[in-house]
């Protein structure tokens, strides 16, 4: 068994335990030999009442300012808690009024910090672990030492904040195409184990939205699919996987963001489901998550008039969060807002009112406000002015502390480089990701049995198509990655990026490059009725060279394309999906995925071109 204890760690843990015992009267026992992450939850305390009393003592020792701080989860720039680069210091001063993560904790006593790649928090695994440890040291230096709950959005697929060499898994809709609960659970357990080793103990996944609207601009392939019961099963499986790895899972976005044509980052979407439709379409995955013991649920910045006629966004709606989520569904875990910097929650009320209204509605954690000082002081003033009671704050803080205790953070919030090296990106995890990707790749069209390609008759390949901005950690554009993977499998493959909106000149270049090739592989991305990608595919088809399209995001692309001989769907364009597509094209893996959403006809959306469950194999 790998032993976790190191001299540095032992000193830190001892200091933590001593400080906690002296200051709060509460310290959970710590094991120095249990491997991290473990597949088992911390054992239930012998006396739940004793733990509750101990947690209450922590709350009683907090100042009002510390209580307010515990409710906030905030971004911060930089790779280090104490010595970030100057550009990150400048960004922190400009946006938050502090220089470093340590100063953020000291000034605002924040209970959580969220990592982003764009905030330069996630350079490499050792750096992430050091950042996490630095944040925890700052938290435990506070008058009331309480570890920070560090979080991120590691949905996998098209949303990932931690990149290679961490293991990157297929995303939700790809897992929906596989449909197997044990696979979804395994993917989440691996992902959770690696996050825990990095000191990240709350993941804003899985997405529990049911994507019944193909035009949904913000959810789409982040959802497991369009069948509420299938989504519910996979959500529950991922909850078990993440939380079995000692990471808090977060079902999002309550009460359901799957049927909208607006993006809540930029607008306030309306969901016009009736109450009965909500019960049938949107509620099942959240019910399933709650039954599976979900640690946290994230709110949606959406209006659902049938659930709250006031037309407040759900994040600020007491009828939705307290009336439905708490009272009707019986959920008493942590409720975290979606980012308070998103336009959907800012359209109706000012940034000073939003955090107060979110707490009044039933939220516990206030995520990433655009102006922390304004939001923090607004909550402080609301308590001092009597709009919010201190008892109301205590309810939320106790939920947050229960979660921190469950995750073992009150026992030991630190990680080590040894843990990182033992867990993150290990070969067994990478192999599992490849096997899972093979099981999710979906074949929709294969005229004349073109696939798998025969290297004797289709050796010379051209790979063209869209190269959207890559999620964190991918090694290159999807055309380049796919061509390289085909090359490793014995083909001669040339890559040519034509973009998501290919120009006439780029299309001519692709047509010329197809000359003399045995087949052309085209990566398509969100093909619309007016997309120039349609022209690209048509022109390549007209050359007489067999064309294979690979929908690298939405499976709906095939409805807008004609003439291709074969079509694959990968549901994302990260390296693991591109390598799987190459194996399927080459016949090294069989396409096993089945559509988790229906594909409607482009000329008649009321009719299905391919139903849920459709998929070919060979």
In this predicted model, what pLDDT tens digit does every residue of 281-309 receive, in sequence order? 999 999 999 999 999 999 999 999 999 99
- Does 20 score more than 60 pLDDT? no
Which whole number is the average pLDDT over 99-122? 98
Among residues 395, 423, 451, which one ends one of the domains? Answer: 423
DSSP element (H, E) containing 497: strand 492-497
Instruction: Give strand pairing partners of 334.
Output: 296
pLDDT classification of 37: cutoffs 50, 70, 90: very low
Residue 270, token pair as written in the block: 């309306």
Q: Which residue has the tokens 């790779």?
A: 79
Q: Does residue 420 carry a pLDDT above 70?
A: yes
Is 265 in the active site? yes
Q: For residue 467, what are the domain limits? A: 441-610
Question: In the structure encoding, which two tokens stand for residue 330, read together?
Answer: 């019986």
Predicted confidence band at 263 (pLDDT cuts at 50, 70, 90)? confident
Average pLDDT over residues 243-260: 96
Q: Is the pLDDT of residue 471 over 80?
A: no
HSE at residue 78, side-chain half, CA atoms within 13 A, is: 29
Q: Give domain status of residue 28, yes or no.
A: no
Separation in Å, CA 274 to CA 242, 306, 307? 33, 6, 8
Q: What pLDDT does 473 receive?
A: 55
According to DSSP, residue 571 is labeled S
3-class secondary-structure state, position 291: helix
Mean predicted lDDT score pLDDT of the chain: 91
* pLDDT value, residue 190: 98
Catalytic residue (choose from 262, 338, 412, 467): 338
Confidence grade of residue 265 (pLDDT, cut at 50, 70, 90): confident
What is the reported pLDDT for 40? 30
Angle at 337 between CA 163 and CA 109, to 5 degrees: 80
Per the structure block, which two tokens stand in for 541? 């088809």
pLDDT score, position 8: 32
| 338 is an active site residue | yes
The residue that leads in pLDDT, 413 or 23, is 413
Tokens standing for residue 119: 């905030």
Q: Kind of pairing, strands 149-152 and 202-203?
A: parallel
| Residue 406 and residue 445 in one domain | no
Q: What is the CATH number of the domain that holds 472?
A: 3.40.50.1700
Alpha carbon of residue 187 to chain centroid: 13
Does the pLDDT at position 21 exceed 70? no
- Residue from 40, 3, 128 nearest 408 by CA: 40
Give yes or no for a contact between 126 and 417, defined as CB atoms under 8 angstroms apart: yes
Residues 312 and 411 placed together within one structural domain of the fold: yes
CATH number for the domain that contains residue 301: 3.20.20.300
Distances from the Cα of 239 to the Cα of 250, 251, 285, 289, 435, angstroms: 8, 8, 11, 7, 21
Residue appearing with tokens 């409607």: 600
- Residue 368 is assigned to a structural domain of this protein: yes
Tell me the average pLDDT across 339-361. Answer: 95
> What pairs with residue 569 in β-bridges?
442, 551
Q: Which of 362, 393, 423 is the last residue of a domain?
A: 423
pLDDT tier for residue 474 given thresholds of 50, 70 and 90:
low
Structural domains counted in the chain? 2
| pLDDT of the residue at 28 | 31
Specify the DSSP class assigned to residue 560. G
Q: pLDDT band at residue 262, thresholds of 50, 70 and 90?
A: confident
Residue 261 binned pLDDT confidence (cut-offs 50, 70, 90): confident
Question: Would you tell me the crossing angle of helices 372-384 and 390-406 to the nearest 10 degrees?
Answer: 130
Predicted local confidence at residue 267, as pLDDT = 81
Query: Tens digits of per-residue pLDDT, 566-606?
Result: 999 999 999 999 999 999 999 999 999 999 999 999 989 88
The number of angstroms, rounded, from the C-alpha of 559 to the middle of its chain's C-alpha atoms is 28
pLDDT at position 47: 73
Predicted pLDDT of residue 522? 98
**Predicted local confidence at residue 38, as pLDDT:** 29
Across 14-28, 184-198, 453-467, 509-523, least confident range:
14-28
Residues 403 and 448 in one domain: no
Query: Residue 15 class from Cβ within 10 Å (0-12 exposed, 13-18 middle, 19+ buried)?
Result: middle
Domain finish residue from 356, 391, 423: 423
Asked whether the predicted pLDDT for residue 470 surpasses 90, the reply is no
How crowded is residue 17: how many other Cβ atoms within 10 Å of its Cβ? 17
- 325-347 residue pLDDT tens: 999 999 999 999 999 999 889 98
461 and 373 inside one domain: no
Give the model confidence (pLDDT) of 426-455 as tens digits. Answer: 999 999 999 999 999 999 999 999 999 999
Give the whole-angstrom CA distance, residue 223 versus residue 86: 38
Same-domain status, 462 and 370: no
Residue 149 and residue 255 in one domain = yes
Q: If you compute the radius of gyration of the chain from its CA atoms, what whole number of angstroms results?
A: 25
Assess if residue 351 is contained within a domain: yes
The verdict on whether omega for the bond into residue 342 sits within 30 degrees of 0, i.e. cis, is: no
Q: Tell me how far apart the alpha carbons of residues 71 and 73 are, in angstroms, rounded to a whole number.
A: 7
pLDDT in tens, 39-56: 233 334 457 888 999 999
For residue 614, how many C-alpha atoms fall within 13 Å in the half-sphere facing its CB? Answer: 16
In angstroms, rounded to a whole number, what is the distance separating the alpha carbons of residues 305 and 532? 38
Given 34, 42, 126, 265, which residue is catalytic? 265
- pLDDT (mean) for 462-469: 92
């Amino acid at each position: 068994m790998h032993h976790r204890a190191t001299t540095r760690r032992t000193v830190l843990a001892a200091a933590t335990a001593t400080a906690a015992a002296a200051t709060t009267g509460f310290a959970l026992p710590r094991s120095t030999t249990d491997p991290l992450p473990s597949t088992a939850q911390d054992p239930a305390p012998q006396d739940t009442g004793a733990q509750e009393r101990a947690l209450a003592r922590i709350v009683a020792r907090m100042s009002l300012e510390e209580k307010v701080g515990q409710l906030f989860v905030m971004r911060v720039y930089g790779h280090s808690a104490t010595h970030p680069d100057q550009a990150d210091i400048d960004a922190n001063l400009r946006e938050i009024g502090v220089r470093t993560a340590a100063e953020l904790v000291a000034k605002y006593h924040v209970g959580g910090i969220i990592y982003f790649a764009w905030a330069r928090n996630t350079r490499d695994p050792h750096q992430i672990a050091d950042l996490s440890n630095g944040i925890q040291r700052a938290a435990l230096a506070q008058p009331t030492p309480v570890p920070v709950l560090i979080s991120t959005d590691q949905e996998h697929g098209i949303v990932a904040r931690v990149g290679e060499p961490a293991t990157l898994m297929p995303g939700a809709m790809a897992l929906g195409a596989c449909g197997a609960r044990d696979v979804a659970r395994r993917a989440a357990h691996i992902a959770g184990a690696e996050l825990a080793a990095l000191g990240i103990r709350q993941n804003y996944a899985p997405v529990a939205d049911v994507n019944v609207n193909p035009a949904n601009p913000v959810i789409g392939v982040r959802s497991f699919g369009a069948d509420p019961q299938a989504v519910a099963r996979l959500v529950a499986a991922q909850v078990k996987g993440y939380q079995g790895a000692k990471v808090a899972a977060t079902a999002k976005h309550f009460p359901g963001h799957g049927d909208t044509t607006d993006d809540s980052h930029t607008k306030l979407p309306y969901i016009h489901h009736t109450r009965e439709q909500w019960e049938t379409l949107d509620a099942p995955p959240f019910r399933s998550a709650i039954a599976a013991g979900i640690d946290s649920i994230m709110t949606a910045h959406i209006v659902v008039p049938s659930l709250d006629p006031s037309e407040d966004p759900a994040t600020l709606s007491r009828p939705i969060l307290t009336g439905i989520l708490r009272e009707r569904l019986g959920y008493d875990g942590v409720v975290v807002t979606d980012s308070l910097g998103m336009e959907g929650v800012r359209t109706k009320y000012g940034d000073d009112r939003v955090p107060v209204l979110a707490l009044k509605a039933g939220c516990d954690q206030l995520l990433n406000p655009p102006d922390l000082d304004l939001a923090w002081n607004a909550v402080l003033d609301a308590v001092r002015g009597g709009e919010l009671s201190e008892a109301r704050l205590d309810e939320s803080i106790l939920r947050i502390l229960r979660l921190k205790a469950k995750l073992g953070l009150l026992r030991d919030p630190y990680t080590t480089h040894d843990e990182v090296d033992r867990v993150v990106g290990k070969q067994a995890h990478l192999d599992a990701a490849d096997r899972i990707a093979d099981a999710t790749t979906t074949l929709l069209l294969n005229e004349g049995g073109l696939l798998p390609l025969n290297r004797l008759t289709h050796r010379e390949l051209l790979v063209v198509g869209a190269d959207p901005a890559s999620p964190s950690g991918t090694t290159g554009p999807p055309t380049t990655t796919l061509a390289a993977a085909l090359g490793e499998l014995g083909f001669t493959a040339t890559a040519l990026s034509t973009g998501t909106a290919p120009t006439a000149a780029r299309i001519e270049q692709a047509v010329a490059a197809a000359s003399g090739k045995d087949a052309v592989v085209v990566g398509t991305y969100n093909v619309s009725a007016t997309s120039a990608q349609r022209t690209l595919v048509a022109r390549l088809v007209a050359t007489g060279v067999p064309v294979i399209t690979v929908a690298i995001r939405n499976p709906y692309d095939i409805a807008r394309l004609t003439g291709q001989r074969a079509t694959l769907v990968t549901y994302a364009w990260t390296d693991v999906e591109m390598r799987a597509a190459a194996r399927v094209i080459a016949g090294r893996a069989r396409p096993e995925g089945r559509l988790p959403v229906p594909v409607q006809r482009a000329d008649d959306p009321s009719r299905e071109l391919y139903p849920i469950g459709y998929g070919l194999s060979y």
